[in-house]
Amino acid sequence: MTRLRRDSLHLLGTVAPGALCILVFLVAPSIYLMGMAFLSTDATGLPALPLSVQAFRELAGFGFLGWSPGNLYTLLRSLWQTLLATVLVILIAYPAAYYISIRPARWRPVLLLAVVVPSWTNQVIRSVGWMNLFAPGTPISDLAVLLGITEPRMGLFPSQFAVIVGLVYNFLPFMVLPLYAAFERLDHAQVEAARDLFASPLAVFRHAVLPQTLPGLMAGTVLVAIPAFGMYVVTELLGGGKATMIGNLVAQQFAAASNWPLGAAGALIMILATLLGLWVLRRLGRRLGGDREVVI
Amino acid sequence: MGAQRPDRGRDKASVVVRGVSRVFPGDLRALDRISLEIHAGEFFTLLGPSGCGKTTLLRLLAGLEVPDAGEVEIGGRAMAGVPAHRRSVNTVFQSYALFPHRNVRQNIAFGLEMQRVSPAAIARQVDEIAELIDIGALLERPVDALSGGQRQRVALARALVNEPAVLLLDEPLSALDAGLRSRLQVDLKRLQQRLGMTFVFVTHDQEEAMVMSDRIAVLDEGRIAQVGSPQAIYERPEDVFVARFMGHENLLAVTRHDAGGVETALGRFEGGFAAGTHLLLRPEALTLHADAPPGSSGNGFLARVEECLYRGAATDYRLRCGEVPIAARVTNAGRSQPGVGDTIWVEVAPDSAATLNARRHTG
């Protein structure tokens, strides 16, 4: 057997299982989904030939009764709620991760566990928990009424506010963990060098802390923003139809509304939006990280 | 340029440290009432074993630590309440602490950028300093593509480009191999002389300290054991700690002291010695004779040669007199030398021996 052949066989043996998995579980369903988006529906709402762009027309808002902006709003609301939730998660997780990283070594695992343990519980149960906290008549809702934030007897749930709280709460651990890892590896000598070289506290953060924690921040943002964008459990339960996101729309089409091509088209748009988001994030990371490639 | 920059400039500054203490949690007293005066334009070295507080003292000067007691003055200005980024002091860190997300040029430019110097002036000053330190060819490289010696030079350039009143160097050569290290010692010394800048240098290597410094402060467990020129510290150490740290081995316990001399395990040595617990015999000040020279004063003793280490210009002898080991260094000037096993007479010149105390600064 020639060396080249042996090497090729070796390569095939090691790479093939993984490649096969990706092919069967990622590429094939994606192609199936993409194909489905370009089919029309039969009488029961299941996909059928001929090919058409009907699903995309419907997604864009053209229905039996003319054009409505509903779906477009849902898409924009999804983007906005994802952005808001991600920014809030960063604002909470960044100082939290730093705080945990400067605790004595024996306390750090305990604090990290406290962050992570809630996520071991089912999403639905946690959302129901928030529903109980935000329902009309609870102390929190009464306080909100007192402060004039909400109407008497309305409660804080269901509302967009409740959805944002639910999203932030849900995804916080996914930001804290990578940021904590980044803070734990932080090279304090760089921080001191920046201070020594006339950098104000803000400049120290910008030039010595942020670039070092950027990989963690990027990883966390990806881990939070992508699932948040597709989230439908939390929005369903806490939004009560007031804050539906594109995930709800897609889920609806595959279930109750029974319009699979429309659901597939929605999923396709989600994938494209996610890829676009990743591209923007990468550019942002490169700018903040001083042209260094930040792998996300 | 210059308008917004702090009191920087070619005006080298003196440093005064008065009664400074620093206590770390766990009751480890890193610095204990240290007082020092570092002259403007001086190459001053803080020398001591690890844990003696020399790096802590340097960090206090940089403003990276705050003293628990006492005060620091740089260039005549009290530094209490002045944060690190407002001090006209720059540091070359032991780990270099270069910013990995910036290339060499951007690293060197950092301090000037923070002082809002115009981009044109920054480019010019970076080029100048790069030429001075001889790293012009590296300017556009990423820092993780540099060797240890190159990183060390970049760290030096990054500090020097700001023309600090005082440059602090925290064991900047300790991570380098011996050859590079001795070359950079000379480079650094020359650079300091050329710039006339005040350098405060931290090291645990007494030879490095002697080669480079105008004056040395030897630190021992958070206190200053001795301050003086390299010659003074080496030839007239004030206590046993300093003597041992400077590499002296011939320390004999004094059993009796009077106006005419001292008595030790090797017998009596004549001379007007000051009171002290130990007698120091410098190895290069001992002369070896095959026999006791006629009419010798008695300042000598018989010893057996146990080991000869030929070092080219000199030979190191390990001698033994009874139970006491003695080190001697003899310059090789073509004379016949004693060999291993020979019994020889060791002559001690009166001015080459000195008494000193166990530890000067107890309590």
Q: What CATH topology corresponds to B249-356?
A: OB fold (Dihydrolipoamide Acetyltransferase, E2P) (2.40.50)
* Helix residue ranges, H only, chain B: 54-62, 104-114, 119-133, 148-160, 178-195, 206-212, 230-235, 240-245
Residue B199: Cβ within 10 Å count: 25
Domain extent listing, chain B:
15-235, 249-356
Q: How many other CB atoms are there within 10 angstroms of residue B342's CB atom?
A: 14
Tell me the average pLDDT across A36-50.
76
Contact B116/A at CB under 8 A: no
Average pLDDT for consecutive 10-residue bins of chain B (363 residues)?
42 87 79 92 92 90 92 90 90 92 93 94 94 90 90 92 93 86 89 91 93 93 92 90 90 83 82 83 84 67 88 87 87 76 83 76 47
Check residue A9 and give its pLDDT.
86
- List the single residue in B with minimal CA-CA distance to A187: B97
CB B62 within 8 A of CB B87: yes
Cβ of residue B132 closer than 8 Å to a chain A Cβ: no
Contact between residue B278 and residue B344 where contact means Cβ atoms under 8 Å apart: no
Measured CA angle at A220 (ends A214, A224), to 5 deg: 145
DSSP-derived pairing of the beta strands B15-24 and B69-74: antiparallel
Any chain A CB within 8 A of the CB of B99? Answer: yes
Residue A45: pLDDT band (50, 70, 90) is low
Average pLDDT, chain B: 86
Residue B158 and residue B172 in contact, taking contact as beta carbons nearer than 8 Å = no
Residues 6+ apart with CB under 8 A from A30: A271
Q: Which one of B62, B84, B101 has the shortest CB-CB distance to A211?
A: B101
- Lowest average pLDDT, out of A9-13, A49-53, B122-126, goes to A49-53
Q: Which of B345, B283, B353 is nearest to B311 (CA)?
A: B283
Judge: domain B15-235, CATH 3.40.50.300: yes
Q: Which of A195, A203, A208 sits opposite B99 (nearest CB)?
A: A208
| Type of residue numbered B89 | V
Q: Say whether residue B296 is in contact with chain A using an 8 A CB cutoff.
A: no
For residue B117, what are the contacts with CB-CB under 8 A and spacing of at least 6?
B1, B5, B125
Q: pLDDT > 70: what percent of chain A?
A: 96
CB-based contact, B90 to chain A, within 8 Å:
yes
Count of residues making up chain B: 363
Residue A296 has pLDDT above 80, yes or no: no
| Residue among A193, A291, A292 whose CB faces B97 most closely | A193
pLDDT tens-digit profile of A54-97? 778 778 777 777 777 777 888 888 888 889 999 999 999 999 99
Q: Do domains B15-235 and B249-356 have the same CATH topology?
A: no
Return the closest-CA partner of residue B162 out of B45, B84, B60, B82. Answer: B84
Structural domains in chain A, sorted by start = 69-289 (1.10.3720.10)
Chain B residues whose beta carbon lies within 8 Å of the beta carbon of residue A208: 99
CB atoms inside a 10 Å sphere around CB A292: 18
List CB contacts (< 8 A) between B106 and chain A: 290
